[in-house]
């Protein structure tokens, strides 16, 4: 077991992870509704506890505000301000040794880590938070030849009650039904391929008590594509039964699509959108 004297290089046991993931390589591509795997006790539990202890509270001034029709959460992607253990674990999950493990698991060669953590890093949402069903953006906003291929989500929610909600839902490729629900419990990781129709989210507003938040680390991995591929922003979809709300989901998606084009053309970052969304939220509550 890892002790308090753990060094930075001991925070992730690559050999242990490789041994656990190797037998899953044959199962990964056959998982439904699309390739994925769920790993409990992903890190040494003492290391995971240190991540929880370091996880910074939401501060509107220091977190990107993702608050619009299709989601309600906060993110922080600036590696320079991460607490020490969190920062080092992120570095190790972006290191070549871990990329080789992911390549063996997914069968996707040439995986690249994103040092800018575009859209990833620390994610956090409180009571009422949600993320509508979507398929992720297909290409890196600032690296035109990078195609998004794999997500790793690590949940850091100690004593998370099932009734709080916040379960990651994996939906069928035609968005007709939820195939799997995964509780965001402590030290559980989910790895999945980000196909253009790999729809997922946690669309029901959470009911956790005030002061309790859903915390996760999000790492996204890419491949360098020599030929052009279809670049698309996040594709939000309404669920069967969403009724008239489907109109708002679609209209919000189209606004975000316009922002994505501007972001790629003008080199904008999500901090700009955060300021705009924060201002709009302030005006709505005046």
Asked whether residue 252 is domain-assigned, the answer is yes
CA atoms within 13 A on the CB side of 27: 9
Residue 201: CA count within 13 A, CB half-sphere = 26
Q: Which of 39, 55, 84 is nearest to 187 (CA)?
A: 39
The CA distance from 149 to 268, in Å, is 23
**Is residue 227 in some structural domain?**
yes
Task: Give the pLDDT means over successive 10-residue stretches in the chain (286 positions).
Answer: 45 95 95 98 97 95 93 97 98 98 98 96 98 96 95 97 98 98 98 97 98 98 91 96 96 90 69 53 44
Q: Is the separation of the CB atoms in 42 and 188 below 8 Å?
A: yes
Strand partners, 125: 214
Q: Is residue 105 part of a domain?
A: yes
**3-state DSSP assignment of residue 152:** strand
The boundaries of the domain holding residue 194 are 8-284
Name the token pair of 60. Answer: 């509107």
Query: What is the rounded CA–CA span in Å between residue 82 and residue 80?
Result: 6
Please report the pLDDT score of residue 124 as a whole number. Answer: 98
50: region left, alpha or beta (phi > 0 left; psi from -120 to 50 alpha): alpha
pTM: 0.90
Task: Kindly report the CATH number assigned to the domain that includes residue 243.
Answer: 2.60.120.620
Cis peptide before 19 (omega within 30 of 0): no
The whole-angstrom separation of Cα 271 and Cα 55 is: 20
3 lies in some domain: no
Question: Two tokens at 90?
Answer: 């992120």
Residue 274 counted as domain residue: yes
Residue 21 belongs to some domain of the structure: yes
Query: How much is the pLDDT for 282?
Result: 42
Residue 1 lies in a domain: no
Total structural domains within the chain: 1
pLDDT of residue 10: 80
Residue 182, domain member (yes or no): yes
DSSP alpha helices (H): ranges in the chain? Answer: 14-21, 45-54, 84-93, 96-106, 245-266, 270-284
């Amino acid at each position: 077991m890892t002790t308090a004297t753990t060094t930075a290089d001991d925070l992730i046991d690559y050999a242990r992870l490789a041994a656990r993931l190797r037998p899953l390589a044959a199962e990964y591509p056959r998982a439904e509704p699309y390739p994925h795997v769920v790993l409990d006790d992903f890190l040494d539990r003492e290391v995971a506890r240190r991540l929880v202890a370091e996880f910074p509270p939401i501060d509107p001034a220091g977190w990107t505000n993702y608050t619009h029709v299709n989601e309600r959460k906060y993110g922080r992607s600036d590696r320079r301000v991460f607490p020490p253990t969190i920062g080092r674990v992120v570095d190790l999950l972006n290191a070549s040794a871990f990329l080789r493990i992911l390549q063996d698991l997914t069968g996707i060669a040439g995986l690249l880590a994103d040092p800018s953590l575009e859209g990833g890093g620390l994610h956090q949402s409180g009571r009422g938070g949600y993320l509508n069903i979507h398929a992720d953006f297909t290409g890196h906003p600032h690296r035109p030849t990078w195609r998004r291929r794999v997500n790793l989500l690590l949940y850091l929610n100690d004593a998370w009650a099932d009734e709080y909600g916040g379960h990651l839902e994996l939906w069928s490729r035609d968005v007709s039904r939820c195939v799997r629900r995964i509780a965001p419990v402590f030290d559980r990781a989910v790895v999945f391929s980000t196909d253009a129709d790999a729809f997922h989210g946690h669309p029901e507003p959470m009911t956790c008590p005030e002061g309790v938040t859903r915390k996760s680390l999000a790492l996204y991995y890419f491949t360098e594509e020599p030929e052009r591929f279809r670049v698309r922003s996040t594709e939000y979809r309404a669920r069967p039964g969403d009724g008239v709300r489907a109109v708002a989901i679609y209209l919000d998606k189209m606004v975000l699509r316009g922002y994505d084009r501007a972001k790629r053309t003008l080199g904008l970052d999500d901090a700009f959108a955060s300021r705009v969304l924060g201002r709009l939220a302030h005006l709505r509550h005046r």
